[in-house]
Amino acid sequence: MGDILEQQTHSAGPDSDNEITAEHASFVHSEPPEDAKGPPEVDSEMEVLHEKVRKQIIKEGHGQKPSKYSRCFLNYRAWTKSTQHKFEDTWLEQRSVEMVLGKEKSEMTGLGIGISSMKTGERALLHVGWELGYGKDGNFSFPNVPPMADLLYEAELIGFDETKEGKPRSDMTVEERIGAADRRKMEGNVFFKDEKLEEAMQQYEMAIAYMGDDFMFQLFGKYRDMALAVKNPCHLNMAVCQIKLKRYEEAIGQCSIVLAEDENNVKALFRRGKARAELGQTDAAREDFLKARKFVPHDKAILKELRLLDEHDKAVYQKQKEIYKGIFGPRPEPKPKTKNWLILIWHWLVALVYWIFRLRRHKTD
């Protein structure tokens, strides 16, 4: 492996494992929105897409809009409009949703109309009438939606594939899904080389979407190895960008996903260590770096990070020493008390009277 980790500060493109080694990126596409108690307040203009579907843009997207039978990947939160009850949240469940436009379920018709009007990376608030949602009867299982409930969706289009036949992931063979994910990963690398960082992040997230937990659970042997060879580098590439963006908690999460599959992955250990060090978790960071060093004992990047941790600890110790020195230092010398001249004069007068009295008594005797 050599000094492959050190290349992170020099390389601008993918390495031999099709993984980005540079730590330069500017945007994490599918950043979860803040989990407020209710739907977001949006001031943008209301766009009428259908008699029962209206849209307000929260964040602009880019590129083209998906056409009929496009395979779309999205995240969303859903509320009943009247009660503001949230009944579904794919961000919270950490699962992106696949939707083939024109073949969506009947209760998703309104959401599909909204998604078809969006560009890649766009996030919007969709207002959907009950007729294009869960209908007159609602839904009493999961998700629980009351009858005739108008809906609100906060939705984000991660990306889409144009397919003439509208073939969903579930109908694709293992090889087709791995191949589609690999193409997304390679496209992401190309975007990254061209410094189109937003587009690159979308491609990596799309690749991961093809490799959902339900799919990975079914794989074993060579097929699982093939899938992980595509999936893990995408997680690590996202971690690189998140470290650069100072989104250290999310970077730790991406690396931990990889380490759950491959506990000795040096790049995952190294990048998680960097993120932990930035958060001040020096003991945990050192543990990651030391474990990585076992596999590449002479790697310059790992040795540098360990040296920086040692220097940080020394600096903290010196600072604490100075603070404690001020608190528990030597006792200050007592200041000499100022003399009260009135008291001294009074004592002198008393002594004088006493002396005169004794002198007169002596003469009398």
Q: pLDDT for 161-184, tens place per residue?
A: 876 555 677 788 889 889 888 988
Full-model pTM: 0.63
3-state SS, residue 362: helix
Whole-number Å distance between alpha carbons of 233 and 236: 5
Q: Find out whether 252 and 243 touch, Cβ atoms under 8 Å.
A: no
Q: Side-chain half-sphere of 170: how many Cα atoms within 13 Å?
A: 5
Mean pLDDT of 228-248: 87
Higher pLDDT, 97 or 93: 97
Closest residue by Cα to residue 76 from 64, 63, 88: 88
Mean pLDDT of 344-354: 75
For the chain, how are helix, strand and coil distributed in percent, rounded to 5?
A: 50, 15, 40
Residue ranges and CATH numbers for the domains of the chain are 6-28+172-314 (1.25.40.10), 47-161 (3.10.50.40)
For the segment 55-81, what is each residue's pLDDT rounded down to a tens digit? Answer: 999 999 888 899 888 889 999 999 999
